[in-house]
Amino acid sequence: MPEKKNTNEKGLAKASSKALAKTAPKPKRPRRRSRGSQGRKKKATATLRIIPLGGLDAIGKNMTAFECNGDIILIDAGLMFPDDEHTGVDLILPDYTYILENADRLRGIVITHGHEDHTGALPYLLKDIDRSIPILGTKLTLGLIEGKLEEHRLSKQPKLVEVHRGGSTKLGCFELEFFTVNHSIPGAMGVFMHTPAGNVLHTGDFKLDETPIDGELTDFAALARFAAQGVDLLMSDSTNATSRQFTKSEAEVGVTLRSVIGAAKQRVVVAAFSSHIHRVQQICDAAQLAGRKVAVTGRSMLTNTRIARDLGYLNVPDDLIIDAYDVGNYPPEKTVVLCTGSQGEPLSALARMSVGEHKTIDIERGDTVIISATPVPGNEKSVTRIVNQLSKVGADVWDKNRALVHVSGHAGAEELKLVLSLVKPRHFLPVHGEATHLRAHARLAEAVGVDANNIFILDNGDSLVMSDGVVKRGEGVESGIVYVDGSSVGDIGANVLRDRQSMSNEGAASVAVVIDSKRGKLVSDPVITMRGIPGFDNDDFIVEARDKVAKVVRESLDNHKPDANRIKKQERDALSSFIWKRAHRRPIIMPIVIEI
* Residues acting as catalytic residues: 237, 410
The answer to whether the CB of 256 falls within 8 A of the CB of 216 is: no
The answer to whether the CB of 98 falls within 8 A of the CB of 51 is: yes
Show Cβ contacts of residue 91 under 8 Å, excluding neighbours closer than 6 positions. Answer: 79, 80, 81, 82, 120, 483, 484
Tell which residue, 134, 74, 130, has the closest CA to residue 99: 74
The span from the CA of 533 to the CA of 575, in Å, is: 12
Q: Which residue type does 69 have?
A: N
Tell which residue, 585, 505, 503, has the closest CA to residue 545: 585
The answer to whether the CB of 251 falls within 8 A of the CB of 447 is: no
Q: Which residues of 303-330 are buried (b: 16+ CB within 10 A; e: fewer)?
A: bbbebbbebebbebeeeebbebeebeee
The span from the CA of 141 to the CA of 113, in Å, is: 5
Half-sphere exposure of 245 (CA within 13 A, CB side): 5
Show Cβ contacts of residue 462 under 8 Å, excluding neighbours closer than 6 positions. Answer: 51, 52, 473, 474, 476
Indicate the SS3 state at residue 366. coil
Is residue 331 exposed (0-12), middle (13-18) or buried (19+ Cβ within 10 Å)? Answer: exposed
The answer to whether the CB of 60 falls within 8 A of the CB of 467 is: no
Indicate the SS3 state at residue 486. coil
The span from the CA of 484 to the CA of 213, in Å, is: 36
Q: Which residues of 183-200 are buried (b: 16+ CB within 10 A; e: fewer)?
A: bbbbbbbbbbbbbbbbbb
Is residue 422 exposed (0-12), middle (13-18) or buried (19+ Cβ within 10 Å)? Answer: middle
Tell which residue, 506, 508, 510, has the closest CA to residue 526: 510
